[in-house]
Amino acid sequence: MAYGVYHTKYGITINLTFEDLGHPDRPGLLEEITQPVGERDRDLLQCLTDYQGGDCQCALADKTPWMFVRRQRRAGRSPGAPPYGWHSAPLGDRRRVVGDHRSRTMGEGG
């Protein structure tokens, strides 16, 4: 999953992990880039790796480097934002005690 794309019309890099896409001065940018490909230029969004001259995974697989952004949003996050993992949640008291107990027990060899 790509977290950044290059906007060919504006010549800007879009960071999909930011709510404002890294461009607070362009309030309608999200709506613009989430339009269906049939309603906008097909080459509007380019793979950032391909734009930077790297080995784009799509291009290596004989696919096009032109991208699209899904319109789905979850809990106010930008499309394409990395999901929150279980490890990002703080440990509760019980989980911490159990984890400490397991660590001590395994450390003692049993």
Query: What residue spans define the domains of the chain?
Result: 4-107
Token pair 């949003």 is at which residue?
73
55-77 pLDDT, tens per residue?
A: 877 767 777 888 888 766 544 55
The yes-or-no verdict on residue 81 having pLDDT over 70 is: no
- Band (pLDDT 50/70/90 cuts) for residue 83 is very low
> For residue 21, is pLDDT > 70?
yes
Q: Which residues of 24-50 are buried (b: 16+ CB within 10 A; e: fewer)?
A: eeeeebbebbeeeeeeeeeebbbbbbb
Q: pTM for the full model?
A: 0.59
Q: Which helix (H) or strand (E) holds 105?
A: helix 93-107
Please name the residues in contact with 73: beta carbons below 8 A apart, sequence gap of 6 or more: 79
The structure tokens listed for 104 are 């001590």
